[in-house]
Structures are given as C-alpha cells and as structure tokens.
Amino acid sequence: MKSTQRAKTLARAAAIVAVFLCATVLPHPANAETGADAWLRYSPLSPQAAKNYERLPPQIVLLGDSPVLKTAQQELIQGVGQMLGRTLHVGIASSRNAIVLGTLTELPALIPELHPPQDLRPDGYWLKSTKFRGSECLIITASTDRGVLYGVFALLSKIARAESLADIDIATLDELQNPYAPIRWVNQWDNLDGRIERGYGGPSIFFVDGNVRADLTRAGQYARLLASIGINGCAINNVNAAPGVLEDSFIAQVSRIADVFRPWGVQLSLAVDLGSPKLIGGLDTFDPLDPRVAEWWRKKVDEIYRRIPDFAGFVVKADSEGRLGPSTYGRTHADAANVIARALKPHGGVIFYRAFVYNHHLDWHDLKSDRAKAAYENFHPLDGAFDDNVIVQIKNGPIDFQVREPVSPLFARLGRTNEAIELQITQEYTGQQRQLCFLVPMWKEALDFDMHIDANIADVNTTPVKALVAGRILHRPVGGFVGVTNVGMDATWLGSPLAMANLYGFGRLAWDPNLTAEKIIDEWTRLTFGNDPLVVKAITTMQLNSWHIYESYTGPLGAGTLTNILGNHYDPSPESSEENGWGQWHRADHAGIGMDRTIATGTGFIGQYPPAVQQLYESLARSPDNLLLFFHHVPYTYVLRSGKTVVQHIYDSHYDGADRARDFISQWKSLEGHVDNERYRDILTRFEYQAAEAIVWRDAICDWIYKLSGIPDSKGRFPTRLSH
Ligand code: GCV
C-alpha cells in the first residue's frame, strides 16, 4: 500500500470511530429537522421578537387572481401563521387595516393617493406602510406579479430574522428593491435516467428512468426555494443534453414541470443538443445555415410554446467535451446560436450559448498550448455577431470551477454581446458537499474584479465583472447570473444542510452582487438555524473561513485543485493533471511548479486581459501570491511576499488547513443544545469526516511535493513521519 493510501485509510477509519463515539454521547433529539425546509422554516418567533409585528395588519387584500399572486397570498398566510401564530384573513378591496398585494396596474384604482417610485423595474418590489381610509396598511407592490411574490418573501425573511428589532419598524416601512440583472437562473445537470452529472444530493427531482417523474412535489418545492431568493429561470436537464428532450412526446411530459414552476414565477428552460435536427428530426444535417435546419428549429420551438407558453429558452453546449457543434460544417458559434435564437425570438425566448468550448486533446508537450485561452479564442472574434436574444454563458474562471482561478478575460472582451456569468453551486471541485466550502467569498472576488476596460468605450471609471455581465456598462439588453445547482431528492436538497448556503448566496448575489458575504451568511444562518447569537456567530464564522481552509489543503497559490481530474474530482491526485490533453496542468517537475502564462515567455494567456490587468499578472513581483502558480512557473525556492519559499508555503498551508478543518469540530460542538439534534448530529459527522479528509489531502500533497522537490519541511514535520 502506498503511503498516501495508507494515510487515507487510517484517517477514514479514525473518522468512522469518531462518528461512532459521538453518536453514543449525544442527548435525545428534540425539535428534529431534516433540512428540507432550508431557509424557509418559518419557525415561531419568541414572544418578545413577535411583539415587533403586533401592528402587522390582520388581513390580506389581493388585487388580481393570477397563479403567482395567489401563491404570494398563500405564502404570506403560511409564514405569518407559523412565525407569529396569527391567522391572516382574506379581505376584500374595501377592507381597512390590510396588507395589500397587487401590481402597479391594479393599485392606483384602490389607493390613488399612493405614488409608487418611478424606478420600480421588472421583478423589483416596493414595501410601503401607509394610511388608507384612516387605517394602517402595508402595501406590497411591483410592476409584475413575480415582483409581488418577491416582496412577500422579503417581508417574511425580515420577520424570520426578527429584523425589526434593529432595523425596521413595520409602521414606517418604505423599501424599494430592484434586481441588479434580469437573468437570475439556475441550471440543473439532470440526466433523463434520473442521475445527475456532478450532483451530490441524490437522484433527479425531475426525471426517473427516461421519463418525467409522476410525482413532482419536490420540483414545486424547489421552485418555491428559487423564488424566495429571486431566481426566475431554471434549465432542468444536463447541458450534455439527451436529444430526446425535444421529442414531442417528451415536451408533453416536460410541460408538467413548467406547470409546477409557474405559480412561483420560475420559467422553465431546456438544454438541447445542436445535432437535434439530424438526431431526432429526420434531417440529414444539422448545419445551422441550412434553411431546412432553421425551419426545423422554428417548428420545434412553436410546438414547445404551444405547450409551455411561458417557456424561457434553451441552453447549448456545443463543440465541447465531445458534443456536436457547428465545426462539423465549418460554421461559427454565432451561426449555431442565431439559428435557434431566431426561432425563439417571436416568443420572447432566449438562448444561452456556453463559452465552455475547448480542445481536450491538447498536446501536453507543447509549453505554449493552454486550455485557459480557449474561451477567448473561440468567442472574441465573434463579438457583435450574436443576435440580441443570445446570451454567451461564461464560467467565472478560464479553466473549470477550480478552488481558485482568475476571472475569465472573456468578460471584458465581448462589448457587443450579451453575457452571463456561470457559477457552480454544486461543489464539484470544492468538496462535493461532503466538506464545508462557502463559495460566496470566492464569487465576490470574481464579481468585484475590476477589468479596467477602455474608459472610452464604457464611459465609466471602474468596470467590475458584475456590471459587465449584467449588461450595465456596455448597455446590453439582457444578461446576468447562472448557477449550476444540481439539487436532488435528498432531504437536504444538495446533500448537506450547510451547503445550501451556496444556493442561497447565489440567489442573493444574483439579486444584488453588492451584498457582502458577511451579510448573506448572516441572513442564511438566521433563516436556517434561528437567531441565537451564539449559533449565528459560530456558523457564520465557520462558513466565512471555509473556502480559504479548503483551498489551503487542496490547491494553494493558484495551482488549481490538485485533485483526480480523470476520476471523481474529489480525492488528491496531482499527477492526474499532467501528461494528458485535458489541459488542467500545473507543470510541477523537479525544479519548480506553475503554468507560465506570461506574454513574454509563456502561453500568452495574460495577453487576453485588458492592458491594466495584463500589467498586474505579467509581472512576477505584482502577481498576487494566491494566483502565483496560475500565471507563473517558479522554482520551489522562490520567495513569496510572506518571506516563505513556495515549497515551505505549500507544506505550511496544508498543515494549517488540516488543523483549521479539525477546529471545525470543536466550533460545531460549542453549539450542542443550541441546534436541533438531528442537524447537530448530521453536521458533526460531516466535520469529523472533513477533518480526516483534510489529513489525507495534507499528507498526499506534502508527500508529492517533497518527492518532486527533495526539499524537506523546515519545521521537521516532514518527511520523517511519512517515510515510515
Ligand atoms: C456537464 C466539467 C464537468 C462536466 C461538465 C462540464 C461542463 O468538465 O466535469 O461534468 O459537464 O464541466 O460544464 O459542461
């Protein structure tokens, strides 16, 4: 048995023993929770906190009767009933002292003297206390039904977090909220047989054995969760799409999913195979410039809208990882996107065309070849060639959801194209929900990154990625945020209660990317575990530290996640990155480590950034240490800003990370009795396991680096222990 394998086996055994021991000493479960309610638990407030809502009007007036408005009313009744123990009665338009739910179309007829803000945008909402017919009213209004629903969820969130204690008075409430971007979508990578690619929360909530599930209860509950954080679209199937999703008989089944989404204002979308006209359509071609292909897409789309009138559109992965694409006919990605976009256009649909296009048979001997360059090389020449209802969907980094990557340069280089940023909620490379890794701080770094694009074009001083993807700076008609979620049938949705912070955080950032990670995790923790200050402090601290901790033992200094890229994307296996065509190289050898992506001597990737960003990364002295190995190949003895050599940093980082992962256990144990026993036990088990896995990682990577470099740990921890 190799030493890394032995360490791994021992550590896993230790975790199992620890789990068994802890199971024997815990108190009896009380108030057990499965995590299924996620952040919509609506737990009863303490009598003191509930006092703040004594003036909440006792009845609801609903202006309109759309499914979404009815949902809003129902949700409000449920939430207030559970949290405040009060039954809201349904009143009529002339009722006094009411919570009024309705859009701007209906509201003026009821209360002409009310002047809603002029800048209320689609999906935005306004919460306003006012006097009406001599009594107090609370108005929840919006320009769309969906906005009213979002307003209801916002009010319920405030109550659940007992926010009025510090921040609001129900009698003076006056809050306008607009979403930052129109696109706030999730993608599911569900296969029709019920398995989910990179899903860690059980089988699909949509499909089983090649069909749509008979019971779609969970799909409806998922739509509720999505709506509660402002998400308005969901692509339900894998981007590695089965052509069969477009069979008429299957669309009939899919329309049932759209039916359960609709009351929550979530629009359904499908991932489709570009080869469909040939694969299922009976044509001998899928050439996007062939008029028969265009006609096939037109008819297919018309058929979909006949069954699903609020269908949102398509997601396409083409010429990537073995998928069919326009290259078959020497056509461009714009040709491929536009032929479908034109079919969708009359119905108001959009197409997301993924920029995740690269050659996975690269020549690893060639030091100039670089997968990171692919998205830019494929899409930058096409800027301006895409129709207005095409959105190019770009992963946050140029490789593939690694634990740290620089932001993709493509965001800065598509001035005449709609963009969306694709973030991965499912933790493919970041612990697969078995380890804690709160991703909002990582996403914030990408979204806030200043691309310094030409001020003459943008006419602004800073050009953060969030403003580019939302279409704000370059005045694009549409754009925004897409999160790859992959919830499943597991009661906890993602496979772990704590991982749900990433889904919550994605939705909140898509709504307002200027929210801080601290604010988001404070909200999520209160909603998920209650307002006990001890609980809030401990969980927010663990979550906020977790990304850096995970990074420190799986891929420090920007080397990428040093995982098994040919297998499970989970275990340590740095050798698997090299000597193959996938291009996730770290180029570690006996002399040094890191990819030289400089313009001067490397692959030239840095040249894809705007000049100010090029200057930052090209210079070894200016490059941030946490991305050093992404941009530069350096000797192990290279000295970092901290004064440590690279090799010593790698050793220390792994030991420190493993220690900090172990500390999660005691931090969590401090909450015993403050968190319901079911979740307490479940999460404790996870932290025990993570502590063991961190040791596995620590020992595997330190062993590997030591064998490559021949340089021992200056602190004497290494290689002594592992060599025996
Ligand atoms: C759906 C990575 C993942 C694949 C995924 C692909 C993509 O390569 O490992 O599972 O495929 O990204 O985003 O298309």
How many H helices and E strands in the chain?
A: 21, 18
User: CB of 240 closer than 6 A to ligand 1?
Assistant: yes
Tokens 């996620």 found at: 38
CA-proximal residue: ligand 1, atom 2 (nearest): 400
Nearest ligand 1 atom, CA 197: 10
Residue 376 DSSP class: H
Characterize 396-417 residue by residue with b for buried, 16 or more Cβ atoms within 10 angstroms of its Cβ, and e for exposed: bbbbbbbbbbbbbbbbbbbbeb
Please state, in angstroms and rounded to a whole number, the distance separating the CA atoms of residues 112 and 109: 6
Residues near 26 by beta carbon (within 8 Å), at least 6 away in sequence: 672, 677, 680, 681
Name the residue of 198, 238, 358 whose CB sits within 8 Å of the most ligand 1 atoms, as the mutation to test its pocket: 198
Q: Which atom of ligand 1 is nearest to the CA of 238?
A: 1
For ligand 1, is residue 356 a contact (CB within 6 Å)?
yes
Q: Is the CB of 198 under 6 A from ligand 1?
A: yes
What element of type H or E holds 292? helix 291-307
pLDDT of residue 268: 98
Judge if the beta carbon of residue 74 lies within 6 A of ligand 1. no
How distant, in Å, are the alpha carbons of 37, 467, 660, 699 from that of 657?
Answer: 32, 34, 5, 12
> Does the CB atom of residue 317 touch ligand 1 within 6 A?
yes
**Ligand 1 center to 435 CA (angstroms):** 20
**Rounded to two decimals, what is the model's pTM?**
0.95
* The pLDDT value given to residue 459: 64
Burial of 255 (0-12, 13-18, 19+ CB in 10 A): middle
* Residues 6+ positions from 295 with CB-CB distance below 8 Å: none
Q: Say if strands 390-395 and 418-424 run parallel, antiparallel, or are unpaired.
A: parallel
Residue among 307, 311, 393 nearest 354 (CA): 393
Q: Is the CB of 53 under 6 A from ligand 1?
A: no
Residues paired with 338 in a beta bridge = none
Q: Please say whether the beta carbons of 318 and 336 come within 8 A.
A: yes
- Sheet containing strand 174-177, edge to edge, reads 89-90, 59-63, 98-103, 135-142, 125-132, 174-177
Cα–Cα distance for residue pair 58/94, rounded to 1 Å: 14
- Of all helices (H) and strands (E), which one includes residue 289? none
Helix (H), strand (E) at residue 625: none
CA of 575 to the centre of ligand 1 (A): 20
239 lines ligand 1 (CB under 6 A): yes
| Cross-strand partners of 484 | 187, 424
* CA 239 – ligand 1 centroid, Å: 8
Atom of ligand 1 nearest to the CA of 240: 1
In the reported structure, the alpha carbon of residue 108 is separated from the centroid of ligand 1 by a whole-number distance in angstroms of 49
CA distance 319 to 332: 10
> Which of 272, 317, 400 to probe ligand 1 with, by most ligand atoms within 8 A of CB?
400
**Strand partners of residue 129:** 138
pLDDT attached to residue 109:
87
Quickly tell me which residue has 């069979």 as its tokens: 247
Give the 3-state DSSP-derived string for 86-153, with helices as H, strands as E and coil as C: CCCEECCCCCCCEEEEEECCCHHHHCCCCCCCCCCCCCCEEEEEEEECCEEEEEEEECCHHHHHHHHH
CA distance linking residue 69 with residue 425, whole number of Å: 29
Query: Cα–Cα distances in Å, from 194 out to 191, 209, 210, 253?
Result: 6, 6, 7, 15
Å from CA of 563 to ligand 1 middle? 15
Pocket of ligand 1 contains residue 375 by CB under 6 Å: no
> What is the secondary structure of 187-210 as a DSSP string?
E--B-TTS-BTT--S-S-SSEETT
For the CA of 239, the closest atom of ligand 1 is: 1
pLDDT reported for residue 473 = 87
8 A C-beta contact, residue 315 and residue 187: yes
- Apex 384 CA angle, 346 and 301, nearest 5: 25
Q: How far is the CA of 400 from the centre of ligand 1 (A)?
A: 8
CA of 573 to the centre of ligand 1 (A): 19
Q: Are 391 and 469 in contact (CB under 8 A)?
A: no
* 395 ligand 1 Cβ < 6 A: no
SS3 content of the chain, % helix, strand, coil (to 5): 45, 15, 45
Which of 309, 149, 161 shows the shortest CA–CA distance to 224?
149
Residues 6+ apart with CB under 8 A from 311: 258, 267, 268, 269, 304, 305, 347, 349
What whole-number distance in Å separates Cα of residue 630 and Cα of residue 605? 10
Q: How far is CA 224 from the centre of its chain?
A: 17
Per DSSP, helices labelled H in 26-93 are 47-50, 67-84
Structure tokens at 371: 């997968």
Q: Using CA positions, which residue lies closest to atom 14 of ligand 1?
A: 239
Burial grade of 589 (CB within 10 A; 0-12, 13-18, 19 or more): exposed
pLDDT for 16: 41
**Taking the chain, what is the end-to-end CA distance rounded to the nearest angstrom?**
12
Instruction: Return the structure tokens found at 111.
Output: 């209360």
Enzyme catalytic residues: 321, 400, 428
pLDDT of residue 724: 40
Residue pair 107/140 in contact by the 8 Å Cβ criterion: no
Mean pLDDT by 10 residues, the chain (724 residues): 46 44 34 85 92 91 96 98 96 89 92 90 95 89 97 97 66 92 98 98 98 98 98 98 98 98 98 98 98 98 98 98 98 98 98 97 96 98 98 98 98 96 98 98 98 74 94 92 98 97 98 98 97 97 98 96 93 94 95 97 98 96 97 98 97 98 98 95 97 97 96 87 48
Torsion (CA) 390, 122, 41, 507 in degrees, nearest 10: 40
pLDDT at 167: 52
Ligand 1 centroid vs 322 CA: distance in angstroms?
Answer: 11
Kindly state the DSSP code that residue 59 receives in the 8-state scheme: E
Query: How many CB atoms neighbour CB 537 within 10 A?
Result: 15
197 CB within 6 A, ligand 1: yes
* Long-range contacts of 94-97, Cβ-Cβ distance < 8 Å, separation of 24 or more: 95/59, 95/61, 96/132, 96/133, 96/134, 96/135, 96/137, 97/57, 97/58, 97/59, 97/135, 97/136, 97/137
Looking at 281-336, which runs of residues are DSSP E strands?
Answer: 313-316
Q: Rounded CA gap, 189 and 178, in Å?
A: 29
pLDDT at 454: 76
Site to substitute for ligand 1 among 321, 360, 563, 576, most atoms within 8 A of C-beta: 321
List Cβ neighbours of 164 (8 Å cut-off, separation of 6 or more). Answer: 52, 53, 158, 170
